[in-house]
């Protein structure tokens, strides 16, 4: 039985080739991205907040359109590509700093 030749490694997106983040660093990236998303969707969130302040139980159907707009904005602001870009920016920022992988 002859051994099979080695299989070439699949090519990954450039930002995924360097992705060696610790859990703490990954959480920092997620928190930074979340804050950017909130900043980007501040108007939609404010409109939903103002609408929901007027109602109690009926907020579910009275503010449905505002909620959908807010959720759609947040969904568009949190794509996989955006997360990859945030990781790449974070890695560029810390590339010269000493890191512990614990």
CB distance 44 to 75 below 8 Å: no
Percent of the chain with pLDDT over 90: 46
Query: Is a pLDDT exceeding 70 seen at residue 14?
Result: no
- pLDDT digit string (tens) for 34-77? 999 999 999 999 999 999 999 988 999 999 999 999 999 999 99
Q: In terms of Cα–Cα distance, which of 15, 37, 23 is closest to 92? A: 15
The structure's pTM equals 0.67
What are the boundaries of each domain within the chain?
23-92
CB distance 35 to 68 below 8 Å: no
Range with the poorest average pLDDT among 8-17, 62-71, 93-102: 8-17
Instruction: Write out the two tokens for 16.
Output: 């995924």
Query: What's the mean pLDDT in 15-38?
Result: 80
């Amino acid at each position: 039985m002859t051994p099979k030749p080695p299989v070439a490694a699949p090519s990954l997106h450039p930002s995924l080739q360097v992705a060696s983040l610790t859990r703490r660093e990954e959480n920092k990236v997620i928190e930074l991205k979340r804050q950017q998303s909130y900043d980007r969707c501040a108007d939609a969130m404010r409109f939903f907040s103002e609408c929901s302040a007027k109602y109690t139980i009926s907020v579910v159907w009275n503010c449905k359109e505002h909620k959908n707009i807010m959720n759609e904005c947040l969904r568009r602001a949190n794509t996989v590509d955006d997360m990859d870009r945030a990781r790449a920016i974070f890695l560029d920022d810390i590339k010269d700093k000493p890191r512990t992988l614990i």
